[in-house]
Amino acid sequence: MSPANTFGYVANDTVIHRLSGSTKLIAFIALSLIVMTSYDTRFLIGVMIFSLYLFYLAQIPWKNIRILIYFVLAFSVLNLLTIYLFEPEYGVQLYESRTVLAEGIGRYTLTAEQLFYELNVAIKYFSTIPLALIFVFTTDPSEFASSLNRIGVSYRISYAVSLALRYIPDIQDSFFEIRQAQQARGLEMSRKTSLVNRITRSAQIIMPLIFNSLNRIEVVSQAMELRRFGRNKNRTWYRYRPFASKDIAALALVVGIVLIGMYLFYVNGGRFYNPFQ
């Protein structure tokens, strides 16, 4: 009885879905790293368009990610505001130029350099977030563990991560069940009560939830041990998808983008593209 719009893999058959999980993970990590380091606006815009295009290709249903997107957008805006609040002249330092657009109160002036800097940060968000969503929503959880293992993470940790993902829906179900039991005993959890009350009362639900989960972990780890999990240094994967030619093509493309990004460090004489000089 789990709801249709849960967080996680949505089965489909797009180009993106057909890529191996490892390819998607490597591409996500490599592109995120170069996007985080580079401040070449032209490059960042290119990557952003590319990743938004991939996002379009992946056809992730809107209802599954709606709440997540709102949350991420709110968080991004908050983050951009915080940067301005703490370092209103950071762009001026970076670009060694000061073009005042409007005088504000005290040190809070508005400069073209600061705006440009924050624009770069915003573009970074819009480049990496679609990639993260693509990875999470188009990678079969069965393949998730083998992908992590493939890029060098120990299989014990890889398996633990994928098991944790598997139990999220179960834990959600338990949470609702426990909450109903508490409500029946008179715990007001609806909007009729204050936010602080709702939070402290949620804590009453967390305790049984944790005990339940610990119990579950014990059973699962016994079951795994009895079937020899952890006996050998390696293990094989039933769902592992070997690299196909499209994976190699995709990785070549990613390497190309990363190389362009690094070449631009050389051209710009550093990480920053500076239009103010």
Partner 1 sequence: MMKQRQTLQPIIQFNHVHFQYDSQAEKNLIDVHFDVHPGETILIIGPSGSGKSTIARCINGQIPNTHPGKLEGTVTVNGRDVYSSSIFDLSLDVGTVLQDTDGQFVGLTVAEDIAFALENDCVEQTEMRAKVEGWSRRLEIEHLLERMPHQLSGGQKQRVSISGILVNDIPILLLDEPLANLDPAAGAETMELIKSISKQHQYTTIIVEHRLEEALLADVDRVLVINDGRLVADTTPTKLLKSNVLSEIGVREPLYLNAMKYAGLDVSSFPVLGNFMDVSLSDRQLVQIEEWARSIPKSEKPEGKGAVLEVENIDFSYTESAGAKTLSNISFSIQNGDMVSIVGTNGAGKSTLAKLICGFVQPTSGNIRIDNQETSRLSIKEIADHVGFIMQNPNHMISKTMIYDEVALGLVNRGWPEDQIRERVYEALRICGLYPFRNWPISALSYGQKRRVTIASILVLDPKILILDEPTAGQDYAHYTEMMAFIQKLNVENDMTILMITHDMHLMQEYTNRTLVFDAGKLLADTEPSAVFSNPELIQAAHLAETSLYQLGKLLPSMPAKDFISRFMQYDREVPR
Q: Does 109 bind partner 1 (CB under 8 A)?
A: no
Contacts 24+ apart (CB under 8 A), 12-19: 12/58, 12/59, 12/138, 14/57, 14/58, 14/59, 14/138, 15/57, 15/246, 16/54, 16/57, 16/58, 16/134, 16/138, 17/58, 17/138, 18/246, 19/246, 19/247, 19/250
Q: Does 105 bind partner 1 (CB under 8 A)?
A: no
Q: Does 178 bind partner 1 (CB under 8 A)?
A: yes
CB of 238 to partner 1, least distance (A): 4
Q: Give dist(CA 41, CA 93) in Å, integer.
A: 17
Q: Does 228 bind partner 1 (CB under 8 A)?
A: yes
CB of 51 to partner 1, least distance (A): 27
Bridge partners of 111, per DSSP, are 100
Q: Give dist(CA 257, CA 40) in Å, integer.
A: 13
The one-letter amino acid code at 162 reads: S
Q: Does 162 bind partner 1 (CB under 8 A)?
A: yes
Bridge partners of 81, per DSSP, are none
Out of 62, 85, 231, 245, the only residue in the binding site for partner 1 (CB under 8 A) is 231
Out of 164, 223, 244, 253, the only residue in the binding site for partner 1 (CB under 8 A) is 223
The one-letter amino acid code at 226 reads: L
CB of 27 to partner 1, least distance (A): 23
- CA torsion sign for 10, 14, 20, 26 is negative
CB of 156 to partner 1, least distance (A): 11
Q: Does 4 bind partner 1 (CB under 8 A)?
A: yes
Q: Does 220 bind partner 1 (CB under 8 A)?
A: yes
Q: Does 166 bind partner 1 (CB under 8 A)?
A: yes
Options 39-47, 73-81, 123-131, 182-190: segment touching partner 1 (CB under 8 A)? 182-190
Contact footprint for partner 1 (CB under 8 A): 1-4, 141-142, 162-163, 166, 169-170, 174, 177-178, 180-188, 204-205, 207-208, 211-212, 215-216, 219-220, 222-232, 234-240
